Amino acid sequence: MKHGKRYEALSKQVDYNKKYYLKDALALAKRLQSAKFDETLEVSMRLGVNPRHADQLVRGSVILPYGLGKKVRVLALVQGDKEDEAKAAGAEMIGFEDYIKKITEGWVEFDVMVTTPDMMKHVGKLGKFLGARGLMPSPKTGTVTMNISQAVKDAKAGKVNYKVDKTGNIHSPIGKCSFNDDAILENAKALIESVITARPSTVKGTYVKSIYVSTTMGPGIPIDVQAAIEAIK
């Protein structure tokens, strides 16, 4: 893949012959921010799993201690008294049939969808469309639940959902470059710890093969995996 001159210039400031401590890599990523907007910091992890095997799919969620630094738009696909519950918790969009119709027509102006188990027979029909965009609710991420109030509050508090892709990688935002160093470090630790905890029992050998951090427009910075794991213990 070809990169622009700005990206190449930033890459030259990264020593790819070494593995950085997590704290140092995050600080470097922040220094390399070059866009005119507040870039998002991201963590990418390559896992030693085979996503083609159902028992090796890694997915989960974690509430980042310092949030994501952005307003999260929550869509609650609910009916009856759950509508009042979602509204009280702060969901911006609440309803059912109208939103199902809008989504089938291509509308995705929301960041998180929460719903109740009884609604999944309808939401499931949107699986192919929502799944490709990482918007499909799931019991494993706490977005399919009878406790709609808590699901909405968690989403608002900076809860991120992750799922291994078909190549065995996980990518997740952990906050903005404007966050202070301690906040972004704690968010990164929380994510990495959650992914490690989600290790399938069927996985043998090395589970976390590599970790990189980057900004929206910046190069990936390699992390010392063992040191990062030790740092969160």
pLDDT digits 0-9 by tens, 27-58: 999 999 988 899 999 999 999 999 999 999 99
Domain 18-67+160-231 matches domain 74-157 at the CATH topology level: no
State the pTM of this model. Answer: 0.82
Whether the predicted pLDDT of 233 surpasses 80 = no
Give first-to-last CA distance, the chain, whole Å.
37
* 140: pLDDT strictly greater than 90: no
CATH number of 18-67+160-231: 3.30.190.20
The arithmetic mean of pLDDT across residues 178-194, rounded, is 96
Structural domain boundaries of the chain? 18-67+160-231, 74-157
Q: Looking at residue 161, what is its pLDDT?
A: 87
pLDDT digits (tens, 9 = 90+) for 15-30: 999 999 999 999 999 9
Question: Is residue 213 classed exposed, middle or buried when 0-12, 13-18 and 19+ CB atoms within 10 A define those classes?
Answer: buried
SS (H, E, C) 93-104: EEECHHHHHHHH
Q: Which tokens belong to 172? A: 């997740």
Note the pLDDT of residue 1: 60
The identity of residue 126, as a single letter, is L
CATH 3.40.50.2300 fits 74-157, yes or no: no
CA distance 217 to 210: 20
